[in-house]
Amino acid sequence: MEARMKNPAMVLDAVPSIQEMNKAIYSGGVPPTILELVHLRASQINGCAACVDSGTKGARRAGESEERLFAVSVWRDSPLFTDAERAALALAESATRLADTPDAVPDQVWETAAEHFDERGLASLVLMIALTNFYNRLNVTTKQVPGAWG
């Protein structure tokens, strides 16, 4: 596999801005493992091989087990995830699949997430989901190679 082009964020020197966004996301009080699970799940949905690769590596660095990483795609049927993790994963799925239903992020999904995360935590999750979808679109469009840059 070969990338169509260098990552657009690198071409236009947007990496520092993206890194600032990442810093903000990780300052919201959400455990890094949850943020990594959210990133991984959104990337799985979008079929972004580069982000699934980097997301898996990031989750391992944050302390995730192989067993839980293998179960992320079936989190609803797995006993391995806490209620807070389930709420974050449900939010990630809804916010990633915006065009799949008329009520893309149902009140129930939001309210369940709000039971587990305060406003800063919700902001962190929403920004992580949005940034992951941004990454996914860059990487899938330009066919970035998994593992080539991190």
Q: Is residue 6 part of a domain?
A: no
DSSP state of 146: T
Write phi, then psi, for 77 (nearest 5 degrees).
-100, 5
Question: pLDDT, tens digit, for every residue of 69-78?
Answer: 999 999 999 9
Question: pLDDT, tens digit, for every residue of 100-150?
Answer: 989 999 999 999 999 999 999 999 999 999 999 999 999 999 999 998 765
CATH number of the domain at 83, please. 1.20.1290.10
Q: Is residue 131 part of a domain?
A: yes
The percentage of the chain sitting over the pLDDT mark of 70, rounded to a whole number, equals: 99
52 is in which domain, residue-wise? 17-141
Q: Is residue 105 part of a domain?
A: yes
Q: Is residue 5 part of a domain?
A: no
Rounded CA separation 53/49 (Å): 6
Burial status of residue 82 (CB atoms within 10 A of its CB: 0-12, 13-18, 19 or more)? exposed
**The total number of structural domains that make up the chain:** 1
The percentage of the chain sitting over the pLDDT mark of 90, rounded to a whole number, equals: 96
Dihedral sign for Cα atoms in the order 99, 112, 28, 34: negative
